[in-house]
Chains A and B, each alone.
Chain A
Amino acid sequence: MVRDSAWRRLQVAALAGALALGVAACSSDDGDGGGGGSDSPIRIGASIPLTGQFSQQGKAAEQGYKVWQAMVNDAGGLLDRKVELVIKDDASDQNTVVSDYNALISKDKVDLLIGTYSSLLNLPASAVAEKNKMLYIEPAGGAPEIFERGFKYIFFSQQATADKQGKAFADWISSLPEDQRPKTAAYPTIDDPFVKPNVDGIRKILETAGVKTVYSTTYQVDLNNFDTIVNKVRAADPDLVVHGAFFDDGVGFIRSMLKADFTPKWLYQTTAPSLGDEYAKAIGAENTEGIIFAISHAPQAETPGNAEFVKKYEEMFGGLPPEDAADAYGAAQVLQAAVEAVGNIDDQKAMADWLRKNSVETILGDLKWDDDGRPQGEFLTGQWQNGKVEYILPAKFATTDHTVMGWEPGTK
Chain B
Amino acid sequence: MLEFLQYLVLGLLVGGVYALVASGLSLVFGVMRIINIAHGAFLILGAFLTYTLWSGPGIDPLLSILIVAPATFALGWALYKVTIEPVRTAPMASTVLLTFGLALVIEATMGVIWGNNATSIRPPYGSDSFSIGSFYMPKAQVFGGLVAIAVLVALGLVLTRTWLGRAIRASAANPTGAELVGIKVSSVSALVFGLGTAAACTGGAIVGILYSFVPGTHYTWIARLLAVVVLGGLGSLNGAILGAILFGLAETFTSAYVSAAWATAFPYLIVFAVLLIRPQGLLGARQREDASAL
Binds A, one of B99-107, B164-172, B180-188, B270-278: B99-107
Contacts of B64 in A (CB 8 A): none
The one of A218, A235, A259 in contact with B136, judged by C-beta atoms closer than 8 angstroms, is: A259
Name B265's contact: one of A19, A220, A255 (CB within 8 Å). Answer: A220
- Which one, B6, B87, B139, B252, contacts A15 given CB within 8 A? B87
What 1/0 mask marks residues of chain B from 108 to 129 whose CB sits below 8 Å from any chain A CB? 1001000111101010001111
A79 within 8 A of B: no
Using A9-B90, A15-B83, A55-B216 as known contacts, say yes or no to A219 and B101 having CB atoms under 8 A apart: no
Quick check: A251 and B216 within 8 Å, CB to CB?
no
Identify the stretch in B23-31, B40-48, B145-153, B255-263 within 8 Å (CB) of chain A at 4 or more residues. B255-263
A278 lies within 8 A of B118 (CB): yes
Nearest-neighbour CB distance to chain A for B41, whole angstroms, equals: 13
Bound form: Cα–Cα A12–B264 in Å: 35
Please indicate the chain B residues that have their CB under 8 angstroms from the CB of A307 in the complex. none
Which of A92, A225, A252, A259 contacts B216, CB < 8 Å? A92
Name which of B154-162, B190-198, B207-215 contacts chain A: B207-215
Interfacial residues of chain B within 208-238, with CB under 8 A of chain A in the complex: 210-216, 219-220, 223
Nearest A residue to B254 via CB reads: A228
**Cβ–Cβ contact A225 & B220, under 8 A:** no
- Given that A9-B90, A259-B136 are contacting pairs, would A220 and B214 also be in contact in the complex, using a CB cutoff of 8 Å? no
Say what secondary structure dominates the interface of chain B. Answer: helix
Cβ A225 vs Cβ B97 within 8 A: no
Q: Is the CB of B86 within 8 A of A8?
A: yes
Complex interface: chain A residues within 8 A of B104 (CB): 19, 23, 26
A259 CB contacts on chain B under 8 angstroms: 127-129, 136, 138-140
Tell me if B10 counts as interface (CB < 8 A to partner A).
yes
Q: Are A248 and B118 in contact (CB under 8 A)?
A: yes
B14 on interface, CB distance cutoff 8 Å:
yes
Q: Smallest CB-CB separation from B119: which chain A residue?
A: A282
Asked if A358 is at the interface of the complex by the 8 Å CB criterion, the answer is no
Partner of A251, one of B212, B255, B260, B263: B212
Any chain B CB within 8 A of the CB of A20? yes
Contact A8 B87 (CB under 8 A): yes
Query: Are B7 and A228 in contact (CB-based, < 8 A)?
Result: yes
Contact between B10 and A16, CB atoms less than 8 A apart: no
Question: How far apart are A17's CB and chain B's nearest CB, in angstroms?
Answer: 10
Question: If the complex has contacts A227-B138, A247-B118, are A8 and B129 also in contact, measured as CB distance less than 8 A?
Answer: no
Stretch of A46-54, A102-110, A296-304, A336-344 lying at the B interface: A46-54
Number of interface residues of B (CB under 8 A): 57
Q: Does A229 contact B (CB under 8 A)?
A: yes
Q: Given A8-B87, A11-B86, A12-B87, A223 and B260 touching (CB < 8 A)?
A: yes
B294 shortest CB reach to chain A, Å: 29
CA distance A104 to B211 in the complex (A): 36
A218 and B212 within 8 A (CB): no
Q: How far is the CB of A96 from chain B (nearest CB, A)?
A: 12
The reply to whether the CB of B3 lies closer than 8 angstroms to some CB of chain A is: yes
Q: Are A19 and B105 in contact (CB under 8 A)?
A: yes
B127 touches A191 (CB 8 A): no
Closest-CB distance, A276 to chain B (whole angstroms):
11
| Bound: A311/B127 CA distance, A | 37
Chain A contact surface mostly: helix
Which residues of A28-58 are within 8 A (CB) of B? 50-53, 55-56, 58
**CA–CA, A58 and B126, complex, Å:** 28
Q: In the complex, A22→B98 CA distance in Å?
A: 12
Contact of A248 among B90, B141, B211, B264 (CB under 8 A): B211
Q: Are A11 and B120 in contact (CB under 8 A)?
A: no
Measured between beta carbons, the chain A residues less than 8 angstroms from B6 are 231
Indicate whether A284 reaches chain B with its CB closer than 8 angstroms: yes
B11's closest neighbor in chain A, by CB? A228
Q: Which of A248, A278, A284 is the one whose CB lies under 8 Å from B127?
A: A284
Q: Do B261 and A219 have beta carbons less than 8 Å apart? A: yes
CA distance A59 to B117 in the complex (A): 8
In the complex, what residues of B have CB within 8 A of residue A19's CB? 97-98, 101-102, 104-105
Residue of A92, A223, A247 with highest tally of chain B CB at under 10 A = A223
Does B94 lie within 8 Å of A12, measured CB to CB? yes
Which residues of B have CB within 8 Å of A59? 115-117
Residues of B within 8 A of A405 (CB): none
Does A175 belong to the interface (CB within 8 Å)? Answer: no
A251 to B210, CA, bound (A): 11
What A residues does B89 contact at CB under 8 A?
Answer: 8
B287 sits at the interface (CB 8 A): no
Chain A residues within an 8 Å CB radius of B86: 8, 11-12, 15
Report A402 CB to chain B, min CB distance, Å: 27
From the candidates A55, A223, A251, name the one contacting B120 in the complex (CB within 8 A): A251
Interface status of A321 (Cβ within 8 A of chain B)? no
Q: Is A260 an interface residue (CB 8 A)?
A: yes
Give the chain B neighbours of A23 by CB distance below 8 A.
101, 104-105, 108
Contact in complex: B212, A248 (CB < 8 Å)? yes
Contact, CB under 8 Å: B102 / A217: no
Query: Known: A232-B256, A278-B117. Contact between A53 and B105, CB under 8 A?
Result: no
Contact A53 B216 (CB under 8 A): yes
Q: What is the bound-complex CA distance between A184 and B269, given in angstroms?
A: 35
Asked if A55 and B214 sit within 8 Å, CB to CB, the answer is yes
In Å, the complex CA distance between A188 and B263 comes to 14
* Distance (whole angstroms) from the CB of B27 to the closest CB of chain A: 23
Interface residue from A8, A218, A232, A261 paired with B261 (Cβ < 8 Å): A218
With contacts A23-B105, A59-B116, A248-B118 taken as known, whether A229 is within 8 angstroms of B260 at the C-beta atoms is: yes
User: Is there contact, CB below 8 Å, between A284 and B101?
Assistant: no
Further contacts, 12 of them, CB under 8 A, given A225-B211, A227-B252: A8-B87, A8-B89, A11-B87, A12-B98, A56-B117, A56-B118, A191-B261, A220-B264, A255-B126, A259-B127, A260-B129, A261-B129
Chain B residues within CB distance 8 Å of chain A? 3, 6-7, 10, 14, 83, 86-87, 89-90, 94, 97-98, 101-102, 104-105, 107-108, 111, 115-118, 120, 122, 126-129, 131, 134, 136, 138-141, 210-216, 219-220, 223, 251-252, 255-256, 259-261, 263-265
